[in-house]
Amino acid sequence: MTLFRPATPLMVRYAHYHRDRRNIATHLVGIPLITLSVGVLLLGPSWTVAGHALTLAWCVWALTSLWYLSRGDLLLGTATALVNGALIALAHQVPSWAAAWALPVWQMGVGLFLVGWVFQFVGHYFEGCKPAFVDDLVGLLVGPMFVVGECLMGVGLLQKMRRDIERQAGPSR
């Protein structure tokens, strides 16, 4: 996978590692948990900009959103940026949850991260193959886009992309 490929070839490549429906289902849980956890772990440092706190989590979200939006599929890029934005906004609520449980925020972040990866690895056990990022680190960026794409395809959108994926990677099983 190359960092600057369009969305469809990236999704097709990623799909080669994700054809088992149980694996896809675990990714629908695991990847959002990992994204949320990364947001939690990037809450500091923060800067005050125009009276609002700007965290490293929001900076990383902005950079990745630009990447998703530049992959050539406006619906998929926008939806992925919005979902990830919601997860980053949720990450900013975790400090109050951690305080209620008397836990350091970083422990909540690490816990969410580990649980997310457990889901990922269980899914790849079902799939019988390694995660896509093992062969190409860009897979770490494609994962959230794949999950959002699967949801959009599930409601009848991105049908051309679905056909391309199934033609090149095979149908899910």
Q: Where are the domains of the chain?
A: 8-169
pTM of the prediction?
0.92
**Residue carrying structure tokens 């770490």:** 140
Q: What are the Cα distances from residue 21, in Å, to 11, 99, 101, 153, 172?
A: 16, 37, 35, 14, 6
Taken in order 135, 140, 142, 147, the sign of the CA dihedral is positive
Q: Give the tens place of pLDDT for each residue, 115-142.
A: 999 999 999 889 888 777 777 788 899 9
Q: Give the tens place of pLDDT for each residue, 87-122.
A: 999 999 999 988 888 889 999 999 999 999 999 999
Percent of the chain with pLDDT over 70: 99
Q: Give the tens place of pLDDT for each residue, 37-64.
A: 999 999 988 888 898 889 999 999 999 9
